[in-house]
Amino acid sequence: MTSAAVPRPAGSHFGYRFSLVGIAAFAVILAWVIVSLFAPILIPHPVGEIVGSDYFEPISGDAWLGTDYLGRDMLSRVLMGARYTVGISLAAVVIACLSGISLGMTAAASGGLVDMFLSRFLDAMSSIPSKLFGLVVVAAVGSSIPVLILTLAVIYIPGAYRFSRALAVNVNTMDFMTVARTRGEGTLYLIGAEILPNIIRPVLADLGLRFVFIVLLLSGLSFLGLGLQPPYADWGALVRENIGGLPFAAPAVIVPSLAIASLTISVNLLIDNLPHKIRDRNA
């Protein structure tokens, strides 16, 4: 005799439980990604066009988010700024995590001198303060988009390496790794077929956190004037150039700050509320 199946919790599909907070956070992230992809056709005005008769104008029918310190439409500039903030940060975190994870798994699987050399070298790199390193590089070679991407990636490679190596070292002690080595499998097989599948979930969560760190560092560099240079502007640069509107509570300085907060908080909330497998309680 079998008992009735226990109904699945609300918000679950395909055997996974989805949090409403996680769904809302994912919707915000997806919206910003769509904006970054299609910003040129979404903006109501060219980003350099003067649409207001005065600077720091309030919200109106002609300027839905007010105007900036030159009378330009802030909605257009925030939408176009999403392309640079999201695009640069995403490219940098992909390079950083792919490089760091690959090196971390290689060090754990190889051991010996390879592990010692990579660990000491990347430990030395991580001892340099991230903002100081970014300031020195950008001040020395300029702040073009490729330079910013590579600089941000290099800053966060050591952290991705340490995290993935710690996970891979734990996997490396498992019995199935001993069996694979006994069979004569090479390092590439051990990394791709044995280590990576067992660390992929925490690695993806770490990627999301590093994306947040990179967004904040990029915005900080831009706020200091060492990020994107005119005519380009990411959200950090928009805050810096409109900081004079802060005493007037101008939307021009508030909206880019809210954009940064909405993206970073949503990524954190999504990581904290990732869908997890629901146990089958059917008798």
Residue 283 included in any domain: no
Residue 199 included in any domain: yes
Cα(236)–Cα(224) distance, integer angstroms = 9
Cα(262)–Cα(225) distance, integer angstroms = 23
| Tally of structural domains, the chain | 1
Region 46-61: mean pLDDT is: 85
pLDDT number for residue 280: 44
pLDDT tens figures, 223-250: 888 888 887 889 999 999 999 888 888 8
For residues 131 and 151, the answer to whether their CB atoms sit within 8 Å is no
Residue 258 included in any domain: yes
Residue 5 included in any domain: no
pLDDT tens figures, 5-49: 445 554 555 556 778 998 999 999 999 999 999 999 999 998 888
- What type of residue is 177? M
Cα(255)–Cα(268) distance, integer angstroms = 20
Report the range of poorest mean pLDDT among 6-15, 129-138, 150-159: 6-15
Select the more confidently predicted residue: 5 or 209: 209
Residue 154 included in any domain: yes
Region 69-75: mean pLDDT is: 91
Sequence-distant (6+) residues with CB within 8 A of 132 are none
Region 188-192: mean pLDDT is: 89
Cα(239)–Cα(261) distance, integer angstroms = 12
Cα(82)–Cα(228) distance, integer angstroms = 13
Sequence-distant (6+) residues with CB within 8 A of 143 are 221, 226, 227, 228, 229
CB-based burial label for 94 (10 Å; 0-12, 13-18, 19+):
middle
Distance of CA 219 to the CA centre of its chain: 12
pLDDT bracket for residue 282 (50, 70, 90): very low
The CATH number that applies at residue 26 is: 1.10.3720.10
Q: What is the mean pLDDT of the chain?
A: 87
Cα(76)–Cα(236) distance, integer angstroms = 15
Report the range of poorest mean pLDDT among 159-168, 189-198, 260-269: 189-198
pLDDT number for residue 283: 37
Residue 41 included in any domain: yes
Select the more confidently predicted residue: 190 or 30: 30
Model pTM? Answer: 0.86
pLDDT bracket for residue 254 (50, 70, 90): very high
Distance of CA 126 to the CA centre of its chain: 19
Region 92-119: mean pLDDT is: 93
Tokens of 104: 């971390």
> Would the CA dihedral through 91, 158, 216, 196 be positive or negative?
positive
Residue 100's domain comprises: 12-277
Region 248-260: mean pLDDT is: 92
- 274 backbone dihedrals φ, ψ, rounded to 5°: -60, 140
pLDDT number for residue 233: 87
pLDDT number for residue 9: 52
